[in-house]
Structure 1
Amino acid sequence: MKVLTSKLALIFGVTIAFLNQMYAQPNSKKKIDGVVAEVGEYVVLDSDVDKTFIELQAQGVSTEGISRCEMLGKLLEDRLYAHQAIQDSIVVTDAEVNEYMNNQIDQMVEQVGDIDKVIKFYNKKNLEDFKTYFFDIIKMNKLTSQMQRKIIDEVTITPEEVRTFFKKIPKDELPVFGAEMEVAQIVVKPVVSQAEKQKVIDKLKELKKEVQEGSSFFSRAILYSEDPGSKSNGGYYKLTKKTQFVKEFKDVAFSLQEGEISEPFETEYGYHIIYLEKVRGQELDVRHILMAPKVTPEALAEAKTKIESIRKRIVDGEITFAEAARQYSDEKETRNSGGLLMNPRTMETRFELTKMDPTLYSQVSDLKDKEVSLPLIDQEQNGNRRYKLITVTNRFEEHTADFSTDYMKIKELALKEKQIKAVAKWSEEKIKETYVKINGEYRDCTFTNNWLKK
């Protein structure tokens, strides 16, 4: 779902890959652990530094050249964010943490084979002791990410600031942007039968009943939801009336009472049920399950016949590609722009060839300008198939940055620089007013930030 965005990454200190790697090193010696630093109410153990190195390595990230001092500096930053989130009254609910934690523990047990191995590694007495420890890790990381987001979201940039940023770049240091193209498409979706729609409605009603009888909405969303943006996080979203979700979704969410589950309802993405978990003034914590009715082979065949007819009219010159997209395309997001695709990474219409999605690149790489592809079978995120036509509407050769032509890219670079400066200024100010203590050999470190307050 485009309007229900973004997957939540793993937010606890140790990943599944890390657990696998730690058991691949059975003979590694454990050194005596101890508190090496404190930031506000948070501490950093010497083992936290070790575990972070192993975690990065398990994820395939090279740690060559990263010193223990630099790693400690990163851990101190995380704890500063979490500490300040509490001061700023950023709320992470215990229910949210517990549900996420229980799901991750289940995955860890499935991967490693035995929760006792995990408990033993962390030198905890039992599962309850480990959960207490794990709970604190998850909560700290959630607070950290929300505080980081708050700092970045408050940074804006004006056109004049973008112009000033560009003028400061020496001519021989101007960035070079790679070859790009603009692409348009026409989508024809098969018509879904009423019987298939009813199957989905009945299943969602069944899931609602299971939750009302004591099952976890979190686990049901992970098992059944077809929304890739929230499935891994139990269907969770924060929602305000300004959030860019489809109207039907927001209307239902804001009509619910806290703790209530909606009846199944339809949007352009399929059918949903929503659980209103918490009301925070004008903000809602919701979970939802999305399921889309499946397409029959007969409906798919009819869609192919329709899109072949559309292509013939374009090739014969009866109608332009843009006109056909506006009249016949079933893709709401691109229909009004004549089928023009938006680059999700830059929010521009241009796609840099070297950074293009491999599937899209393979579909357009051999097309000449204005040539219309043959009907292509395409799969939506919910698994349903559809047909599309695709064409290249414009090409841009590799070139040195130009302010007018590349304004959006330059704006992005300028904004990132301003965000980095804002974070640095924020850190400098908060370190001064926050209790920070560095112990032992780490007092000899040279940190980027003034953690030693010299």
Structure 2
Amino acid sequence: MIFLLGGIHVNAQNLKDSTLVVTGEEKEVPLVKKDTVQKKKRMKADGVAAVVGDYLILESDITKMREDMKNQGLSSEEITNCQLAGRLMENKLYVHKAQQDTTILVSEARISGMTDQQLSRMEQQIGSMDKLLEFYRKESVEELRKELIRINKERELANSMQDKIVENIEVTPEEVREFFNKIPEDERPKFGDEVEIAQIVIEPEIPEEEKQKVIKQLNDIRNDIIENGASFATKAVLYSEDGTSAKGGKLTITREDPLDKDFKQIAFSLREGEISKPFKSEFGYHIVTVDKVRGQKLDIRHIIITPEVTEETVKNAQKKIDSIRTEIVKGNISFDEAARTLSDEEETRGDGGKLINPTTGDTRFELTKVDPIIYDQVVNLKENEVSLILTDQTNTGKKFFKIITVTNRYPEHIADYAKDYSKIKELALREKKYKAVEKWQKETIAETYIKINGEYKKCSFNSNWQKK
């Protein structure tokens, strides 16, 4: 396998311990001839710590991983470079095997959209794009974007490979019982205080006139493109309200992409060059055009505009949930009944507003492990007490109001097979998956080209990277 890095070809099969690749800022390397305007660029020699399959792990990758941990507020003082190197090698092993597996597909459109959202959040956090580029030592937004796309794609591939390893692993009731029984009584896990939570959600309505205003705006844009030859891409830059606007609304999608079903249905019904009429998705109102059909992929452009709620509808939503809370507190209606008949949240309405723990799949939340936001909302609530009105927002940024209650509390206790079956089952399943991953790693390391250089040869890794 031949790598091209910093203008230097690196043959993975013939790497020496002293192999260096050029990536940073010290060693002078002539990039152009003397008669060009460009000056010599100062570069820094970067050592190769290891090679896993088709992937290099540079010493700077290990340094950067430690810096990233510090930036995230995580302590890295007790973690050695050997441990960081082992973690990176494990990640590259997943990516390497995922690239070889034809059943593992990564949506380029989703990666691109996720990266655009990531860039936007990062820019807001740090203050400006110039500061962001300086922080990440990049010359341009496009250079930073390409780097983030690479990182996000590798993360997606690694996650998909891990999911595939354990996707068919299940545990039977007998395996759960055996798992529990083999734990000595004095070593059985202790489950902390748990709660069951229910909520009622009221969303501000979008007035019909606001919806019609957006539909008219999209129709005007569409007519200008069709009748006057205006550029769809330019219109997207000027009017679209999502991360693709900077690229003229451009996306590449497949039928398998996890996009809004109405959006996909409209896009795949269009011919090349055709522009849809305005339509609604869960995110807003769109028009879409198809630039090119490439087999099972579409190169499309879209414009999205989201109707705004008004100050009046926000006040009305707040009044409504305040009224609901008052009626519950007075005892005129139960929380369960109010949630079933009045809540705007379809996912929880049918079950009286009860929330499902995404980690365990049941209705219990362990307070020591619960999301900090939920913890703050429920920690001081007594059973069946109704919270004050809380403000929240959906994953699409839509503001809403809610009230919550704790329907049941379960005090801290030692694991009991009958009472805590779902949690014990989860622990048994986790152990079985861990063993499957361990077995996969052992077999895959044995069949994959791996080379470890320099000081990292002296490391004592948990996995057999040295193949001893």
Pairing 1:222–2:236 present: no
Pairing 1:430–2:444 present: yes
Partner of 1:320: 334
Pairing 1:295–2:318 present: no
The amino acid that maps onto 1:434 is: T
Partner of 1:169: 183
The amino acid that maps onto 1:85 is: A
Q: Is the 2:285–2:304 Cα contact (8 Å) retained in structure 1?
A: yes
Structure number with greater CO (CA < 8 Å, separation at least 6) is 1
Secondary structure of the residue that 2:429 maps to in structure 1?
Answer: helix
Gap change, CA 1:406 and 1:83, over 3 Å in 2: same
Find the aligned partners of 1:168 and 1:330 in 2 and give their Cα distance.
Answer: 46
- What TM-score, normalized by structure 2, do the two folds share? 0.69
Find the aligned partners of 1:198 and 1:171 in 2 and give their Cα distance.
Answer: 66
Partner of 2:384: 370
Gap change, CA 1:81 and 1:196, over 3 Å in 2: same
Gap change, CA 1:254 and 1:94, over 3 Å in 2: closer
1:434, distance to aligned residue in structure 2 (A): 1.4
Gap change, CA 1:274 and 1:422, over 3 Å in 2: farther
Partner of 1:61: 74
Choose which of 329, 344, 351 in structure 2 pairs with 1:337: 351
1:88, distance to aligned residue in structure 2 (A): 0.8
1:62, distance to aligned residue in structure 2 (A): 2.3
Secondary structure of the residue that 2:357 maps to in structure 1?
Answer: coil
Partner of 1:5: none
Gap change, CA 1:424 and 1:216, over 3 Å in 2: farther
Q: Is the 1:342–1:350 Cα contact (8 Å) retained in structure 2?
A: yes
State how 1:23-422 maps to structure 2 within 5 Å: 32-89=45-102, 90-92=104-106, 110-112=130-132, 117-118=137-138, 140-201=154-215, 212-213=232-233, 221-222=242-243, 240=256, 248=262, 251-252=265-266, 255=269, 263-267=277-281, 270-271=284-285, 292-373=306-387, 376-381=389-394, 382=396, 384-422=398-436
Find the aligned partners of 2:231 and 2:360 in 1 and give their Cα distance.
Answer: 40
Find the aligned partners of 1:211 and 1:437 in 2 and give their Cα distance.
Answer: 52
Find the aligned partners of 1:163 and 1:285 in 2 and give their Cα distance.
Answer: 52
Q: Is the 2:109–2:252 Cα contact (8 Å) retained in structure 1?
A: no
Gap change, CA 1:189 and 1:105, over 3 Å in 2: closer
Find the aligned partners of 1:325 and 1:102 in 2 and give their Cα distance.
Answer: 37
Partner of 2:32: none
The amino acid that maps onto 2:196 is: E
Find the aligned partners of 1:160 and 1:38 in 2 and give their Cα distance.
Answer: 43
The superposition leaves residues 124-158 of structure 1 with CA deviations (integer Å, 9 ceiling, x where unpaired) of xx999999988766654443333233324343333
Find the aligned partners of 2:400 and 2:352 in 1 and give their Cα distance.
Answer: 18
1:84, distance to aligned residue in structure 2 (A): 0.9
User: Which is worse superposed, 166-175 or 259-268?
Assistant: 259-268
Q: Is the 1:238–1:286 Cα contact (8 Å) retained in structure 2?
A: no
The percentage of aligned residue pairs carrying the same residue is 46
Greater strand share, 1 or 2?
Answer: 2
Gap change, CA 1:247 and 1:407, over 3 Å in 2: farther
1:298, distance to aligned residue in structure 2 (A): 2.6
Gap change, CA 1:391 and 1:73, over 3 Å in 2: closer
What is the number of equivalent residue pairs in this alignment?
Answer: 408
Find the aligned partners of 2:79 and 2:461 in 1 and give their Cα distance.
Answer: 12
Gap change, CA 1:337 and 1:135, over 3 Å in 2: closer
Q: Is the 1:259–1:278 Cα contact (8 Å) retained in structure 2?
A: no
The superposition leaves residues 276-325 of structure 1 with CA deviations (integer Å, 9 ceiling, x where unpaired) of 898886x9999988765332233334334444544454455444322222
Secondary structure of the residue that 1:181 maps to in structure 2?
Answer: strand
The superposition leaves residues 223-256 of structure 1 with CA deviations (integer Å, 9 ceiling, x where unpaired) of 789xxxxxxxx99998649x7x876456546646
- What TM-score, normalized by structure 1, do the two folds share? 0.71
User: Which is worse superposed, 189-198 or 270-279?
Assistant: 270-279
Unaligned runs of 5+ in 1: 1-21, 24-29, 120-125, 226-233
Secondary structure of the residue that 1:403 maps to in structure 2?
Answer: coil
Secondary structure of the residue that 2:74 maps to in structure 1?
Answer: coil
Find the aligned partners of 2:271 and 2:467 in 1 and give their Cα distance.
Answer: 49
Q: Is the 1:37–1:43 Cα contact (8 Å) retained in structure 2?
A: yes
Q: Is the 1:224–1:291 Cα contact (8 Å) retained in structure 2?
A: no
The amino acid that maps onto 1:450 is: N
Q: Is the 2:232–2:301 Cα contact (8 Å) retained in structure 1?
A: no
Secondary structure of the residue that 1:33 maps to in structure 2?
Answer: strand
Partner of 1:122: none
Find the aligned partners of 1:287 and 1:160 in 2 and give their Cα distance.
Answer: 53
Find the aligned partners of 2:330 and 2:119 in 1 and give their Cα distance.
Answer: 60
